[in-house]
Structure 1
Amino acid sequence: MDLSEHIAINRQLAECICQRLIDEIDELGFSSAEIQHYPRYDDAVFVLVKDPYTGGHNLTAYWYDDAKKQRIGRLQFNSDGTFYAEYDVVKPHPAKPKRFVEGVTAWGKAEQIKSEPKLLEMAE
């Protein structure tokens, strides 16, 4: 199976995962003007990575900033049917002054997508 087939086969699940990441960001309470980028499947750069354990290929999607220099997110589909995604937010929490939002993550399988924000304590 080639790269374009992997991209097509994973599209429906990937779009659900992207929406879950977007929902996590929005639930934190940021205004629409505060978030410049959201994870969109079609905006990703795709590569196939060989799984060292199974020998199968994992589809990995990377998101980059506007200059295409800094990676701001990743979504990896593993050959065992699981996935892991992370997307950078890197902003102070809009409602909790002592918290900093590093990013959001999602993981699981097609039938069960879990997600959460990655929060850090702000230094005093």
Structure 2
Amino acid sequence: MELNDHIQTKRELGASICARLSHEIDRLGFESGSLSYPLFDAACFNLVRDPYTGEHNLTGYWHDQRQRRIGSLQFNSDGTFYAEYDVIRPHPAKPKWFVEGVTAWGNADRITAEAKLLLMPE
């Protein structure tokens, strides 16, 4: 299977993962329109051979306007996935916390997600 076939096969799940990541960002309470959100079609994809299984994993990366990587999404050959997307902002409601990003993992039947928070130094 070629790269475009892998992308098409994962498009619906990928859109659901992006929606879940976006929901996690929204739950933090940032002002509407102040952040970017991950979009499946905005990722740059490639195939990476899994050294253990020999199968191809579809991996996508999101970049900001300066082409710095701000997130990734990997679909593993066993049907699982892992995604992360940078937020890099102080928490809008908890002054002692910093939001590093949001992550999601699971498979087509279950998408789990959470924010990655860091305690601000005193």
TM over 0.5: yes
TM-score, normalised with respect to structure 1: 0.97
1:62-101 CA distances to partner (integer Å, 9 max, x unpaired)?
Answer: 0001121x10000000000000000000000000000000
Shift in Å, 1:32: 1.8
Q: How does 1:1-124 map to 2 (within 5 A)?
A: 1-35=1-35, 37-68=36-67, 70-124=68-122
Q: Give the aligned length.
A: 122
Unaligned runs of 5+ in 1: none
Identity %: 64
Q: What's the Cα RMSD here?
A: 0.6
Stretches (4+) displaced over 6 A: none
TM-score, normalised with respect to structure 2: 0.98
